[in-house]
Amino acid sequence: MAKLKPSKGAPYARILGVGGYRPTRVVPNEVILEKIDSSDEWIRSRSGIETRHWANDEETVAAMSIEASGKAIADAGISVEQIGGVIVSTVSHFKQTPAVATEIADKLGTKKAAAFDISAGCAGFGYGLTLAKGMIVEGSAEYVLVIGVERLSDLTDLEDRATAFLFGDGAGAVVVGPSQEPEIGPTVWGSEGDKSETIKQTVPWTDYRTGEVDKFPAITQEGQAVFRWAVFEMAKVAQQALDAAGITPDELDVFIPHQANERIIDSMVKTLKLPEHVTVARDVRTTGNTSAASIPLAMERLLATGEAKSGDTALVIGFGAGLVYAATVVTLP
């Protein structure tokens, strides 16, 4: 029996750079209120959202990803040619094939990097980060670009009072590379498919194509059920990620949860009993819920504003449609 050569990857991996892109158009709650019976105060009290960004025709999933990726690569201090893998998490790239990751890899100028898309909803960044870590430790790539990108304005029913105000567009990217120390902790991830109806697309694309429905598919959710699941179950997952990394809440510097809803964020902070010194990402206020893009966008903003600094220990957790989730502890770039 032949023996395979052992992998020649790095002992560990870490995030080396981060970049983000928010569309130029800023949409206040007043615009949302033109089509739903609600109020600015109600939207803010229920979600914390004041504004969100919506993409124009030129700000495609690929275009936003390329902008965010360029910043992340520059921040990492490497060349595009060194990128060996491109992982894109999105639910709003409307071409079934080819993967948008291949277009991004080509337009960035990588040397035929491995490129693929994943669909893991709001947990997609965590899934991509875990895959990138594995590629680097296994030795199939030295540097991997992980992108979370969404144009959720294309999947928003502006007449749905429960969701019209939630979603925004944008792209966030990180470069993951080799490390001699553990800088990305073990991932606690999973799925609860029995709850898949709580966040879903209203109808399949085929129903729209065949004329069975005349309204373009959109994202819908059961708000209270999602809220209870996120607050109670995801706080447990977050604690498991801390335990897996050997970190206590007192040793944590930053908490970057998926930017779904500020009430969920506040409840998780309380349940986890995070100390006051822990910086909590609240990018949802001005960016809205950008699904897979929300964690890297929030990370980029915290570092840009100085609320977080390089070397800080951060707990990141994403959760959403599926229902799926992923949490890990990382060292910020």
- pLDDT surpasses 90 at 213: no
Return the minimum-mean-pLDDT range out of 29-33, 43-47, 67-71, 202-206: 202-206
Query: What is the distance between the alpha carbons of residues 168 and 192, in angstroms, rounded to a whole number?
Result: 25
Return the minimum-mean-pLDDT range out of 118-127, 221-230, 316-325: 221-230
- pLDDT surpasses 90 at 189: yes
289 is catalytic: yes
**What single string gives the DSSP state of each residue in 47-113?**
H---EEEE--TT--HHHHHHHHHHHHHHHHT--GGGEEEEEEE-S----SSS-HHHHHHHHHT-SS-
- pLDDT surpasses 90 at 36: yes
- Percentage of the chain lying above the pLDDT 70 cut: 100
- Token pair in block for residue 204: 């399949």
Query: What is the distance between the alpha carbons of residues 83 and 246, in angstroms, rounded to a whole number?
Result: 31
Report which of residues 213 and 34 the model is more confident about: 34
Q: Per the residue annotation, which of 29, 93, 122, 261 is the catalytic one?
A: 122
Contact 286, 25 (CB under 8 A): no
Q: Per the residue annotation, which of 29, 53, 93, 258 is the catalytic one?
A: 258
pLDDT at 209: 86
* Span 311-318, average pLDDT: 98
Contact 159, 36 (CB under 8 A): yes
| pTM to 2 decimal places | 0.96
pLDDT at 5: 85
- pLDDT surpasses 90 at 8: no
pLDDT at 326: 98
pLDDT at 167: 98
Contact 32, 164 (CB under 8 A): yes
Q: What angle do CA 232, 237, 243 make, to 5 degrees?
A: 130
Query: What is the distance between the alpha carbons of residues 319 and 190, in angstroms, rounded to a whole number?
Result: 10
- pLDDT surpasses 90 at 25: yes
pLDDT at 146: 99
* Span 297-309, average pLDDT: 98
pLDDT at 50: 98
pLDDT at 7: 81
* Span 22-37, average pLDDT: 97
- pLDDT surpasses 90 at 223: no
**Cis check: omega of the bond before 98, within 30 degrees of 0:** yes
Distance of CA 328 to CAs 50, 315, 316, Å? 29, 6, 6
Query: What is the distance between the alpha carbons of residues 300 and 287, in angstroms, rounded to a whole number?
Result: 13
Cα radius of gyration (the chain): 19
Distance of CA 185 to CAs 89, 236, 241, 325, 330, Å? 20, 17, 8, 15, 6
| pLDDT-based confidence at residue 4 (cuts at 50, 70, 90) | confident
* Span 76-86, average pLDDT: 98
* Span 165-169, average pLDDT: 97
* Span 268-286, average pLDDT: 97
Contact 253, 313 (CB under 8 A): yes
Average pLDDT, rounded, for the chain: 96
- pLDDT surpasses 90 at 3: no
pLDDT at 211: 84
